[in-house]
Amino acid sequence: MIKAIIFDMDGVIIDSHSVAYQLLCETANTFGCNLTIEKIKIWGSLSSRQFWTRVKEQYNLPHDISLLITSYNQDREIELYKFMEPVPGVKEFLHDIKRNQVKIALATSATKKRMDAVIDLFGLRTLFDVIVCDEEVVASKPDPQIFLLASQKLAVEPVECLVIEDSENGKIAAKKAGMKCLGFKGLSHVNENMEGSDMLFFSFNELNIKELQKQI
């Protein structure tokens, strides 16, 4: 029986990838890289540290990882969120879960600053029982730490948790944590391999918490 739903944020709550890819390219190319949005898409969903480590290795940059991470203008990305809306149907689905007294967590590879900006901008804070960001764990997805921490804070066993993810790393992390996983394939950026998810879906309008509890 599913007692908790754990949401990823980027690509699930907000279609932030399109904004982030452009800004990441611009920032990386100030260091002399010839990085393209297409290449970032091939790399898939990565935490900030994972992304800049990949850039440093592939382009043989002499710079320290911490300098590369801080070079990215996170505030500019957050400013652009003001012109965006939540992923269609996700807010309604969150309310559906809440009405049925199922616990809800957010477990994101984003920084706390960016996570807080998104949930406050869209008025989602009161819908989540627990929020966890990448800064609270030692290892990022595909390591399961962030999902295990979320289930611990929810006081729900991992086997009773269902994760909603749009990335292969997120799916792997959910499975390593012993949780069920729904793979979201509804946004244009998605070319992730979500094979092995318990179910794939393309719109939050397809989802109903009572039906999910019967099916999964």
64 flagged as catalytic? no
Q: Helices marked H in the chain — which ranges? A: 17-29, 37-43, 48-58, 65-71, 74-81, 90-99, 112-121, 145-154, 168-176, 209-215
Of 8, 15, 134, 166, the active-site residue reads: 8
Q: What is the largest CA-CA distance in the chain?
A: 53
DSSP state of 14: B
Residues 11 and 102 sit within 8 Å (Cβ to Cβ): no
CA distances from 193 to 40, 105, 169 (A): 15, 24, 9
Question: For the residues of 151-208, what is the DSSP string, one character each?
Answer: HHHHT--GGGEEEEESSHHHHHHHHHTT-EEEEE--STT-----TT-SEEES-GGG--
15 is catalytic: no
Q: Which member of 10, 15, 134, 166 is catalytic?
A: 10
Residues in contact with 116: Cβ distance below 8 Å, sequence separation at least 6, in sequence order: none
Confirm if 10 and 108 have CB atoms less than 8 A apart: yes
Rounded to 5°, the CA angle 136-145-177 comes to 150
Catalytic residues: 8, 10
